[in-house]
């Protein structure tokens, strides 16, 4: 469903859908929450190996009088994104009709969000993730009620239901110097419910917040 015809929704969601149909800030907004330096952010960067496509679901729903977004804490495992906070999502498979179908399928498998209950509003800009060589496409959706979440413990260590206002609060934005893969990196992040939301997820959130500004 196109983001152009969304009458009857929450006013902020209507505005968001209309904004997603316009040119997006993309790289400019990503930079606000990007680690520095960050491989793959250089102008004209070409990955040494063609990246795999992935889709994530940025889902809004009403709860406790405000708009919420679900994020997941990945389990600890021997991999690049171990223990990180992310949007529900994963790699595109042959069964997926398109990248939106990927996001919906993964969200159902990971946290039980029923695809037919999600109204698609539009998409944010794609984002390249060098450590895992993924090109991620965020799909933005809306549900008129809180989902009946069902967590897959193999893929999700914890579900975070985060008020949009928490991401909009400057007090929850931090910045530190980290040692990442052997080099010093300046890392901006959101501190949310005791978790650190950084990297690609924070960069996608940065663009989302930018397009939601009046």
pLDDT higher than threshold 80 for residue 154: yes
CA distance 177 to 158: 26
Residue 132, domain member (yes or no): yes
Structural domain for 132, as ranges: 11-37+51-212
Residue 72, domain member (yes or no): yes
pLDDT at 6: 45
The predicted-structure confidence for 159-196, as pLDDT tens digits, reads as follows 999 999 999 999 999 999 999 888 999 999 999 999 99
Quick check: pTM over 0.95? Answer: no
Question: How many C-beta atoms surround the C-beta of residue 114 within 10 A?
Answer: 13
Residue 29, domain member (yes or no): yes
Residue 62, domain member (yes or no): yes
CATH of the domain at 178: 3.90.79.10
Buried b (16+ CB within 10 A) or exposed e, 117-141: bbbbbbbbbbbbbbeeebbbbbbbb
How many separate domains does the chain show? 1
pLDDT at 1: 38
Q: Are 46 and 39 in contact (CB under 8 A)?
A: no
The predicted-structure confidence for 38-77, as pLDDT tens digits, reads as follows 988 887 888 889 999 999 999 999 999 999 999 999 998 8
Residue 4, domain member (yes or no): no
Q: Are 89 and 107 in contact (CB under 8 A)?
A: yes
Residue 5, domain member (yes or no): no
Residue 105, domain member (yes or no): yes
Residue 46, domain member (yes or no): no
């Amino acid at each position: 469903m196109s983001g152009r015809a969304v009458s009857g929704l929450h006013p902020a969601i209507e505005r968001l859908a209309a904004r997603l149909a316009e040119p997006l800030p993309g790289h400019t907004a990503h930079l606000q929450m990007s680690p520095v330096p960050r491989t793959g952010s250089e102008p004209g960067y070409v990955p040494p190996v063609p990246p795999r496509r992935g889709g994530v679901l940025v889902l809004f729903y009403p709860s406790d009088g405000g708009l919420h977004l679900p994020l997941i804490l990945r389990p600890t495992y021997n991999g690049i994104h171990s223990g990180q906070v992310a949007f529900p999502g994963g790699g595109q498979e042959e069964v997926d009709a398109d990248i939106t179908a990927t996001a919906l399928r993964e969200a159902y498998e990971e946290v039980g969000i029923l695809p037919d209950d999600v109204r698609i509003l539009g998409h944010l800009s794609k984002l390249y993730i060098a450590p895992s060589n993924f090109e991620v496409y965020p799909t933005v959706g809306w549900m008129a009620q809180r989902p009946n979440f069902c967590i897959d413990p193999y893929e999700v260590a914890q579900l975070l239901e985060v008020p949009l206002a928490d991401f909009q609060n400057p007090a929850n934005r931090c910045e530190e110097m980290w040692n990442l893969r052997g080099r010093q990196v300046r890392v901006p992040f959101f501190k949310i419910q005791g978790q650190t939301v950084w990297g690609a997820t924070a960069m996608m959130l940065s663009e989302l917040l930018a397009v939601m500004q009046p």
